[in-house]
Amino acid sequence: MALRTAIQGQEASFHDIAARQIYGENIDIVPCETFASTFAALSSGEADQAVVAIENSLFGSINEIYDLLLKHRFWICGEVYLRVEQCLIGLQGASLQKITEVHSHPVALAQCEDFLDKKLPQAKRFESHDTASSVVEVKQWGDPTKAAIGSAAAAKLHGLKILAREIETNKQNYTRFVVLQKNKKSIEGTDKTSLVLVTSHQPGSLHKALGVFAKRGINLSKLQSRPIIGQAWHYMFYVDVEVGNGTKLADSLADLKQQDCEATVLGSYKSGQKA
C-alpha cells in the first residue's frame, strides 16, 4: 500500500519532487495549501507522513516549521537536500519577449530576481502560495502574455512550454526537506539528531550545554534560536548534531539533564546527501 504523504503544494511542486526523491513513485500525495494544513493532515490521520521544507541554502531557516514541530511534536525520520532549478513556464505559443506578467511563490520570485530584472523588466510580478499552482493558473488563464516560475516537472505535467531554464540567480540553491511521522520511529544506522534545548537564563548556560557535545567530539551542523512564547527575551535553541540514537547521544542527554537543561529530541535519522 502506498504511503499517503502530505506536502505543502501539489503534484510537480518542489515538495512533491523531494518526496519522490526519497520514496520513488510508490506514494500517494496529499496536497495541502499551507504548512499548518500539512501538519494538520498528519495529525488527523489523513496522511501517514509529511515532507516539509525546513531551510534553504540562500534564505535560511523556515521559522514556521520549527514552531509547528514544537507544537505537534512529530518525529523527524529522514531528510533530503534538493537542488532547486527554476524555469520560466508559459503556454505553447508564448515567447519571452511578449511576457507581461510573472506569477510564482514569493521566494521563487526572489530567487530569480536578476533574470527578471534583465530579461523581463517590463513584466509585473505576482505572488502565489505555490510554484506548481502558479503553473496551473497560467494554463487555466490561456493567456500567452502570462508566465509562471516553477519546476520543469510542472511544465511537463501540464503540457506547457519552458521559456527559459535555470533562471535562479545563484546556482548553489538547495532546500533541505525533512520527513515527519506522527509517532517515534526506530531506524537503524542513524547519524543525525535534531533537538530543542531550553537552557537556564544564566551567563554561559548555552556554552555549557553545547560543551556536552564538544567533549564527545560530536559536531553541530545547525544552531537556531527561537523566542519562547510568554517569556520575553528568553529563547529556545534548535540544534542538529551529527550523531545517531546510540550511547553518545544518551550520555549527552544525561549530562544536559544534570545541568538543568531541558532537551527534547525531535528525531534521529540518516543524514541526506548534499550534492
Phi, psi of 18 (to 5 degrees): -65, -45
**Domain-embedded: residue 169:** no
Handedness of CA 29, 33, 39, 42 (dihedral sign): negative
Q: What is the rounded CA–CA span in Å between residue 253 and residue 226?
A: 21
**Domain-embedded: residue 275:** no
> Rounded to two decimals, what is the model's pTM?
0.93
How much is the pLDDT for 230? Answer: 86
Asked if the model's pLDDT at residue 275 lies above 70, the reply is no
- Give the total number of structural domains in the chain: 3
158 shares a domain with 209: no
> What mean pLDDT comes out for the span 206-212?
96
How much is the pLDDT for 6? Answer: 98
30 shares a domain with 97: no
Contact 216, 242 (CB under 8 A): no
CATH number, domain of 8, equals: 3.40.190.10
92 shares a domain with 73: no
138 shares a domain with 111: yes
Q: What is the rounded CA–CA span in Å between residue 141 and residue 113?
A: 24
Q: Say which DSSP state 101 is in.
A: E
**Domain-embedded: residue 135:** yes
Q: Sheet containing 235-241: which strands, arranged edge to edge? A: 220-227, 235-241, 192-198, 262-269
Asked if the model's pLDDT at residue 224 lies above 70, the reply is yes
Q: pLDDT over 90 for what percent of the chain? A: 90
**Domain-embedded: residue 70:** yes
> What mean pLDDT comes out for the span 163-189?
94
Handedness of CA 32, 175, 108, 168 (dihedral sign): negative
CATH number, domain of 199, equals: 3.30.70.260
207 shares a domain with 151: no
**Domain-embedded: residue 274:** no
Domain range spanning residue 203?
A: 192-269
How much is the pLDDT for 274? Answer: 65
Q: What is the rounded CA–CA span in Å between residue 77 and residue 36?
A: 19
> What mean pLDDT comes out for the span 38-55?
98
260 shares a domain with 222: yes
More confident residue, 274 or 94: 94
242-268 CB burial, b ≥16 within 10 A, e <16: ebbbeebbeebbebbeeeebebeebbb
Residues contacting residue 218 through CB under 8 Å, at least 6 positions apart: 241, 242, 243, 248, 252
- Cell reading at 30: 496529499
| Mean pLDDT for the chain overall | 95
How much is the pLDDT for 234? Answer: 87
> What mean pLDDT comes out for the span 138-164?
98
**Domain-embedded: residue 39:** yes
**Domain-embedded: residue 256:** yes
26 shares a domain with 73: yes
Select from 147, 181, 215 the last residue of a domain: 181
**Residues designated catalytic:** 175, 177
